[in-house]
Amino acid sequence: MTIPEILERKRDGHAHSKLELETLIGGYVAGCVPDYQIAAWLMAVYLNGMTPLETALLTQVMAESGDTLDLSSLPSTVDKHSTGGVGDKTSLVLAPMLAACGLTVAKMSGRGLAHTGGTIDKLESIPGWNAQLGEDAFLKQAREIGLVLVGQSKNLAPADGLLYALRDVTATVPSVALIASSIMSKKLASGSKTIVLDVKVGAGAFMKTIDDARQLARAMLEIGFNSGRNTRAVLTDMETPLGRMAGNALEVWEALETLHNRGETDLRDLCLALAEEALLAEGFSPSDALSVPRQALESGAALAKFRAFVAAQGGDSSYVDDPTKLGIAAGREVITASQDGFLERLDALSIGKAVLALGGGRLQKGELIDRSVGVEMHAKIGAALKIGQSVLTLYHNAGRGLEEARAALVGAIGISSQPVQPKPLILERIAL
């Protein structure tokens, strides 16, 4: 079948076979199919959609377009993906917790872009920690410790990077089939048998409404099911940042506080909920799926796993036991409550933009960032405030980006004269 014939099929609303998708996507990656034909196909997909099976086939073709990890020699492999948020440091707590439960977390993670932080950027706040491991060292650490995190290979699902760049300039980004296949192609290529999805909803997330988030979660679950993976999804609130810290080193500090059983309850509760989903997918009983991760956290077993993981990848493990050693920017600017009342809004997107302005995020891949800057939140939604009370602290270096950060935070804080009931963090759990 020729490329124009494949385009005609999608233009007319037909579902593709895997061979058709291999011809189209494989040809594009190889440089044989031009941008203008793929652009036409993307618009046809945007307008006509894809069936669940067709979306799964597209995802498999994208996953097979480059390197794949073979984790079949490892027991109980599990991966977690978040659709992005502000202050989302769950991987730093969840991964060692799962390893302490006897599962294997052998994971490729990305760097941050725009207002959302990346796990690798955060871990590099620990001196000496190395995000690059050869395949043999990667598998050896996974077997011995149960936990290894490395930077994402440039050749992991390369079709995704090519398609996303074209979607960005052809008004086809908001397609559930294309979003779901983009996310899941990297998960399939990463090789884990179980995949837990944390789908964020709200101001600081890509999906702004729960209906949109639910639709995306179900699309990804269908891909997982049709690809033979144990996949579960949790919808979580991202109207306000997770925890109390946003910024790379600050988030590592907060994650370590949680592993030391001193952390914020919302971060701890979310990590326990995601761990529960992973253990249920791996066949644990409902009671064990609740109790085993909690015991791993409270006993210090998860902390011990994180310490071993950091040391194995060249990091200074003394930082694990003394988070105060982490390099935090010396500059401080406090933003206070403008009136008495109750905290009603703490806009996640605005806080993410403030971190970006301070230098803690990047607008382009490869851009250098300042891991020491960020924002600390001193109050949670519903908290009673007095005029002049500290609400946020901006950590900055010699005032760099401070004016832009202040501008980003205009209107970010809402104070009500009436008591406010905070929204639940975990909005919904979804499994096929």
The rounded distance, in Å, linking the Cα atoms of 144 and 132 is: 18
| Secondary structure (DSSP) of 45-73 | HHHH---HHHHHHHHHHHHTTSB----TT
Residues constituting the chain:
432
Given 65, 182, 350, 372, the catalytic residue: 182
| Percentage of the chain lying above the pLDDT 90 cut | 88
Closest CA to 230 of 259, 200, 188: 188
Given 88, 121, 160, 198, the catalytic residue: 160
The rounded distance, in Å, linking the Cα atoms of 252 and 297 is: 16
Q: Is 325 a catalytic residue?
A: no
Looking at the DSSP bridge assignments, the partners of residue 395 are 332, 374
> Under a CB-based contact definition with an 8 Å cutoff, are residues 94 and 103 in contact?
no
Given 10, 186, 187, 396, the catalytic residue: 186
The reply to whether 78-321 shares the fold of 3-49 is no
Q: What was the pLDDT predicted at 173?
A: 87
Q: What was the pLDDT predicted at 198?
A: 96
Q: Is 67 a catalytic residue?
A: no
List, for residues 146-157, the tens digit of each pLDDT value: 999 998 877 889
* 195-196-202 Cα angle (round to 5): 140
Once rounded to an integer, what is the mean pLDDT over residues 69-94?
93
Phi and psi at residue 141, to the nearest 5°: -65, -40
Q: What was the pLDDT predicted at 85?
A: 82
List, for residues 1-52, the tens digit of each pLDDT value: 899 999 999 999 999 999 999 999 999 999 999 999 999 999 999 999 999 9
Q: What is the pTM of this model?
A: 0.93
Q: What was the pLDDT predicted at 109?
A: 84
pLDDT category of residue 263 using cuts at 50, 70 and 90: confident
State the virtual CA torsion across 227, 230, 235, 238 in degrees, nearest 10.
Answer: -80
AA letter at 213: A
List, for residues 60-78, the tens digit of each pLDDT value: 999 999 999 999 999 999 9
pLDDT category of residue 111 using cuts at 50, 70 and 90: confident
The rounded distance, in Å, linking the Cα atoms of 89 and 296 is: 18
Given 81, 107, 187, 214, the catalytic residue: 81
> Under a CB-based contact definition with an 8 Å cutoff, are residues 356 and 406 in contact?
no
Q: Is 262 a catalytic residue?
A: no
| CATH code reported for the domain at 78-321 | 3.40.1030.10
SS3 label, residue 393: strand
Q: Is 81 a catalytic residue?
A: yes
pLDDT category of residue 264 using cuts at 50, 70 and 90: confident
Whether residue 272 has pLDDT greater than 90: yes
State the virtual CA torsion across 163, 168, 174, 177 in degrees, nearest 10.
Answer: 0
List, for residues 124-136, the tens digit of each pLDDT value: 999 999 999 999 9
Alpha-carbon distances of 155 from 66, 218, 368, rounded to whole Å: 5, 27, 22
Looking at the DSSP bridge assignments, the partners of residue 244 are none
| CATH code reported for the domain at 327-416 | 3.90.1170.30
Q: Is 186 a catalytic residue?
A: yes
Phi and psi at residue 386, to the nearest 5°: -110, 145
Whether residue 365 has pLDDT greater than 80: no
Phi and psi at residue 332, to the nearest 5°: -135, 135
> Under a CB-based contact definition with an 8 Å cutoff, are residues 96 and 302 in contact?
yes
Given 111, 167, 371, 396, the catalytic residue: 167
Going through 64-211 in order, the beta strands assigned E by DSSP cover: 78-82, 105-109, 147-151, 194-201
Higher pLDDT, 41 or 173: 41
| CATH code reported for the domain at 3-49 | 1.20.970.10
Phi and psi at residue 41, to the nearest 5°: -65, -45
The rounded distance, in Å, linking the Cα atoms of 77 and 87 is: 26
| 294: its two tokens | 């909690």
> Under a CB-based contact definition with an 8 Å cutoff, are residues 83 and 187 in contact?
no
Q: Mean pLDDT score of the chain, rounded to an integer?
A: 94
| Secondary structure (DSSP) of 189-250 | HHT-SEEEEEEEESTTSSB-SHHHHHHHHHHHHHHHHHTT-EEEEEEEE-SS-SSSEESHHH
List, for residues 186-232, the tens digit of each pLDDT value: 999 999 999 999 999 998 888 899 999 999 999 999 999 999 999 99
pLDDT category of residue 112 using cuts at 50, 70 and 90: low
pLDDT category of residue 115 using cuts at 50, 70 and 90: low
- Residue ranges per structural domain of the chain: 3-49, 78-321, 327-416
